C-alpha cells in the first residue's frame, strides 16, 4: 500500500496529535533560541571587543537569559499617564506574534514514514508559503508604529515613524528579490523549494547541491540586506538609535512589555535567518551530497545554518556603525530597488533562453 500524506480527513486523531507535537517542538525550540540568542550576542560582541561578556550567572554566564527574564518579570509595569492605553498594551503582542507565526511554514526535514502515513516535518505546507511569510512580516510594522505613537513621547514617535518609512521602503526590494527565486522554482511552496535545491548543481556537478545562492547570488545579498533593514538590526537600527532617540519606539516601556520587544527582535532575527536558509541555502538539506553528510538528520543542518547566519548578523553589529537616515533611504530606493528589478529582468531572460 502506498503511504499517503497524513491529513485531517484520513485520520483526524493521529493528525491532531502529530500537529500538537510539531507545534510544541517548533515553538519550544524557537523560544529557546530566542532566549539564548541574547546570551550569544552578548558573548560574541564581548569577545569581539576583548571583553568576556556575561560571566557571573552559571558557567560562562549560561543562566544569564533566565536571570534577565526574572529581573524584567519582577520590575514594575508602568503605563505612562498620557499614553493611549489599548494600542500601548497591544503593541508588544503585535510585534511578537507575527514574528513567531512565520516559523510555521519552515520545513525542517524530509517526510517521515510512520505506518501507512507520510508525515511532513513542517507545521504546514502552504502552497502560498512565501507569500504567507511576506504577509506576516508586513504586519510586524504595526507593533512598532503603535508602540511609538501610543507612548505619547517625542522619541518614541520619531522611532515609530522612522520604522514605518524604513520597513515599507525595504519590503519592496525584499519582495522583488524573492521573485527571481520563484522564476527558477516555479512554486511558492517552501517544501518544494527545498527539495528542488537538493538536486545536482545546474544538473552537472553531482556533489554540490543546487542551492539558489549559486544561481542567484545578487538576490541573496539583496534579500539578506533588506531582511536586516526589516528587522531593524544594525546597521539599520534607526528606529531605536540609542545615541539620538534614547531607545526609540520602546522608550516608555518597562517590565515584561519591554521584554516582549526584546524577544520580538531576536525572534525576528531567528526567523529571517531561517527564511534565508530555506530560500537560498538549501533549507534542511546537507551542504554536500555525500553519504556522511546526508545521514545527519535535517533539523541539525537547518539549525547549523540558522546559527551560522545569526552569528553573521551579530558580527555585523560588532563591525558596522549605524547608517544615517538619508543614506538608508538612498540605499533602499536608489540602489536596492533598481538592482532587484535588474535581477528579475536578467533571471527572466536567462530562464526564457534556457527553455
Residue 123: which of 191, 194, 196 has the closest Cα? 191
- Name the segment binding another protein (CB under 8 A); options: 155-163, 236-244, 313-321, 332-340: 155-163
Q: Is 246 in the site for another protein (CB under 8 A)?
A: no
Among 6, 101, 141, 158, binds another protein (CB under 8 A): 141
Among 24, 135, 205, 300, binds another protein (CB under 8 A): 135
- CB nearer another protein, residue 19 or residue 161: 161
To another protein, the closest distance from the beta carbon of 257 in angstroms equals 17
To another protein, the closest distance from the beta carbon of 86 in angstroms equals 6
Contact 64, 52 (CB under 8 A): no
Contact 262, 38 (CB under 8 A): yes
Cα distances (Å, whole numbers) of residue 322 to 19, 165, 247 = 42, 17, 14
Looking at residue 323, what DSSP letter applies? P
Looking at residue 333, what DSSP letter applies? I
- CB nearer another protein, residue 110 or residue 160: 160
Beta bridge partners of 117: 4, 114
- Name the segment binding another protein (CB under 8 A); options: 36-44, 71-79, 120-128, 194-202: 120-128
Report d(CA 177, CA 171) in Å as an integer. Answer: 10
What are the backbone angles phi and psi of residue 44, rounded to the nearest 5°?
A: -65, -50
Q: Is 153 in the site for another protein (CB under 8 A)?
A: no
Q: Is 114 in the site for another protein (CB under 8 A)?
A: no
- CB nearer another protein, residue 163 or residue 336: 163
**How remote is the C-alpha of 275 from its chain's centroid?**
6
Report d(CA 116, CA 3) in Å as an integer. Answer: 5
Report d(CA 144, CA 250) in Å as an integer. Answer: 8
Q: Among residue numbers 167 through 186, which ones bind another protein (CB under 8 A)?
A: 168, 171
Among 7, 10, 82, 84, binds another protein (CB under 8 A): 84
Contacts of 91 (CB under 8 A, 6+ apart): 142, 143, 144, 146, 147, 150
To another protein, the closest distance from the beta carbon of 94 in angstroms equals 9
Contact 107, 282 (CB under 8 A): no
Q: Is 131 in the site for another protein (CB under 8 A)?
A: yes
What are the backbone angles phi and psi of residue 120, rounded to the nearest 5°?
A: -70, 140
Among 36, 134, 214, 333, binds another protein (CB under 8 A): 134
- Name the segment binding another protein (CB under 8 A); options: 20-28, 134-142, 217-225, 337-345: 134-142
Using CB under 8 A, list all residues that contact another protein.
84, 86-87, 90, 126-128, 131-132, 134-136, 138-139, 141-142, 145-146, 149-150, 157, 160-161, 164, 168, 171, 188
Amino acid at each position: 500500500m502506498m503511504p499517503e500524506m497524513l491529513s485531517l480527513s484520513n485520520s483526524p486523531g493521529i493528525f491532531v496529535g502529530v500537529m500538537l507535537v510539531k507545534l510544541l517542538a517548533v515553538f519550544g525550540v524557537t523560544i529557546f533560541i530566542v532566549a539564548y540568542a541574547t546570551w550569544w550576542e552578548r558573548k560574541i560582541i564581548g569577545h569581539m571587543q576583548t571583553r568576556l561578556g556575561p560571566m557571573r550567572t552559571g558557567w560562562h554566564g549560561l543562566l544569564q537569559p533566565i536571570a534577565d527574564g526574572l529581573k524584567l518579570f519582577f520590575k514594575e509595569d508602568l503605563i505612562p499617564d498620557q499614553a493611549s492605553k489599548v494600542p500601548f498594551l497591544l503593541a508588544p503582542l503585535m510585534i511578537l506574534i507575527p514574528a513567531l507565526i512565520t516559523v510555521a511554514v519552515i520545513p525542517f526535514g524530509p517526510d517521515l514514514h510512520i505506518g501507512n502515513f507520510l508525515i511532513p516535518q513542517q507545521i504546514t505546507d502552504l502552497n502560498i508559503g512565501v507569500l504567507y511569510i511576506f504577509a506576516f512580516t508586513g504586519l510586524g510594522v504595526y507593533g512598532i508604529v503603535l508602540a511609538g505613537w501610543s507612548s505619547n513621547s517625542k522619541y518614541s514617535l520619531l522611532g515609530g515613524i522612522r520604522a514605518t518609512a524604513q520597513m515599507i521602503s525595504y519590503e519592496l526590494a525584499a519582495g522583488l528579490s524573492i521573485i527571481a527565486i520563484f522564476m527558477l522554482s516555479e512554486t511558492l511552496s517552501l517544501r518544494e523549494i527545498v527539495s528542488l535545491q537538493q538536486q545536482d548543481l545546474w544538473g552537472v556537478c553531482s556533489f554540490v547541491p543546487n542551492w539558489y545562492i549559486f544561481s542567484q547570488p545578487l538576490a541573496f545579498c539583496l534579500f539578506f540586506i533588506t531582511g536586516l533593514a526589516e528587522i531593524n538590526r544594525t546597521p539599520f537600527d534607526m528606529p531605536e538609535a540609542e545615541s539620538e532617540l534614547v531607545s526609540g519606539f520602546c522608550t516608555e516601556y518597562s517590565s515584561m512589555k519591554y521584554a516582549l520587544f526584546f524577544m520580538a527582535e531576536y525572534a525576528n532575527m531567528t526567523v529571517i535567518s531561517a527564511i534565508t536558509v530555506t530560500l537560498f541555502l538549501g533549507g534542511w538539506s546537507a551542504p554536500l551530497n555525500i553519504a556522511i553528510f546526508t545521514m545527519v538528520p535535517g533539523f541539525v543542518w537547518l539549525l547549523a545554518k540558522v546559527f551560522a547566519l545569526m552569528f553573521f548578523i551579530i558580527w555585523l553589529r560588532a563591525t558596522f556603525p549605524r547608517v544615517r537616515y538619508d543614506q538608508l533611504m538612498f540605499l533602499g530606493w536608489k540602489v536596492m530597488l533598481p538592482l532587484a528589478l535588474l535581477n528579475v529582468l536578467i533571471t527572466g531572460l536567462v530562464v526564457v533562453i534556457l527553455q
